[in-house]
Amino acid sequence: MRHTGQPPLPDWIQSAYQTLERAYATGTDELSKSEAHEFLLAESEDIEEQADAVYVVDRLLDRGWLYEVDDQLRKTE
C-alpha cells in the first residue's frame, strides 16, 4: 500500500518488497517473519545480511505495505 503524504520508501526496500511478493505468489497469503527474512536473504539482490532483511520487513510493516496477524505477515491489498 502506498500512502500519500509520506516520502516514498527507498528503491532498495521497494525492490525487496517486489522480491517478497514472489513468495506470496506461490499460493500462500501469509508468511512468518522468519520465512520472510529467509526468502529475502535467498532471493533479493539487495539483501546480504539478516539485519537488512529485518529492517525491510519492519519498514514495510511501519508503512502498511504488510500487516501482521497471529505472528503471520500478510500483504496489504
Look at residue 7 in the predicted model and tell me its pLDDT.
84
pLDDT tens profile 8-41: 899 999 999 999 999 988 888 899 999 999 999 9
Look at residue 26 in the predicted model and tell me its pLDDT.
83
- 59 three-class SS: helix
Look at residue 3 in the predicted model and tell me its pLDDT.
53
DSSP string, 6-48: SPPPPHHHHHHHHHHHHHHTTS-S-EEHHHHHHHHHHH-SS--
pLDDT score of 1 more than 70: no
Q: Where are the domains of the chain?
A: 11-75
List Cα–Cα distances, 20 to 4, 5, 13, 25, in angstroms.
22, 24, 10, 9
When pLDDT is averaged across residues 38-66 and rounded to a whole number, the result is 95
